[in-house]
């Protein structure tokens, strides 16, 4: 299973990297969560530059989106995509709903606020 990590680099910019859960240190470790949030965003919705307020897993259930980074790249996010979003500082990222149907996501805030080490 591939998880996409969004994190703040030493340059203050948000970056994305994919990692295979099977190769990640202790992939079966339990993680404490405090809640789960279902969100639905209408087609065309755009969130300008923002950082996450806390570490979250974001899972796209339906619809599609696009994550914009400071280097000008845009990354498409579709159903089934799991992201570990932990860009808590710096410029952050943009988010746009690109599908003709709402993008439905599950946000799972992590209790531990320490970002994982860069791979």
Tokens standing for 20?
A: 């295979």
CATH superfamily for domain 2-109 = Jelly Rolls (2.60.120.10)
> Sign of torsion, CA 66 116 118 8?
positive
Tell me the domain boundaries of the chain. Answer: 2-109
Model confidence at 7: pLDDT above 90:
yes
The structure's pTM equals: 0.84
Q: Quick one: what percent of the chain has pLDDT higher than 90?
A: 76
Tokens standing for 60?
A: 């796209």
In which band, very low, low, confident or very high, does the pLDDT at 21 lie, cut at 50, 70 and 90? confident
């Amino acid at each position: 299973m591939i998880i996409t990590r969004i994190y703040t680099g030493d340059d203050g910019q948000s970056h994305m990297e994919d990692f295979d859960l099977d190769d990640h240190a202790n992939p079966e470790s339990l993680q404490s969560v405090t809640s789960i949030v279902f969100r639905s965003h209408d087609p065309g919705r755009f969130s300008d530059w923002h950082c996450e307020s806390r570490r979250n897993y974001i899972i796209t259930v339906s619809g599609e989106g696009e994550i914009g980074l400071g280097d000008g790249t845009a990354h498409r996010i579709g159903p089934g995509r799991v992201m570990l979003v932990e860009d808590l500082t710096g410029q952050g990222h943009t988010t746009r709903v690109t599908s003709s149907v709402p993008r439905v996501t599950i946000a799972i805030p992590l209790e531990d606020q320490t970002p994982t080490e860069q791979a």
